[in-house]
Structure 1
Amino acid sequence: MYNYLETVVISDGVTSIGEHAFYYCENLKNITIPSSVKSIGMGAFSNCYYEETDDDYNITYSRGLEKVIIQDGVETIGVQAFYMCKN
């Protein structure tokens, strides 16, 4: 599975991020979660990471979520919300 979504702007006023909302968004690099968000659902950003090894050159390429800013206000973060986000 490959998802080309690179940028997401969550507007102030959004109160929750649903379960698996950005599941497998391997190209998503940075996200800021505004203070209006009170809950982040289970697995919301899980598997936002991809790694591939080029065996011919012994090089591993990776991409995915690198930076998450969670503003004050978030009260709950669901189980595995950032599962497999290695960066």
Structure 2
Amino acid sequence: MQNRQSPLPRLTPAFWGWALLDIIGVLVLAVGAAYLMEDRASILPGFPANTLQAWICIGGGIVTVFIAAVKMLVEVMHAASRGKSAANDGRFS
């Protein structure tokens, strides 16, 4: 009888690290957006202190979420291809 592998890839600790960074990016984005919506620091007392800091939080949050999402996709693709033969391994060159 053949040993059947699960069709779902194994999620590595690196994936979970990027997922945690993604959550942090969403929280930073939310802090900046909340300030701009209410014109005051409503989630964290005293931060952001002004509109410039709120826009920096929004920009940093968007960049962090984008990078973390791309890295998570890369980790999933690597995990899915670990069990398969790739076209660039030694047998094909």
TM-score calculated relative to the size of structure 2: 0.25
- Structure of higher CA gyration radius: 2
Please state which structure has a larger fraction of its residues in strand.
1
TM-score calculated relative to the size of structure 1: 0.26
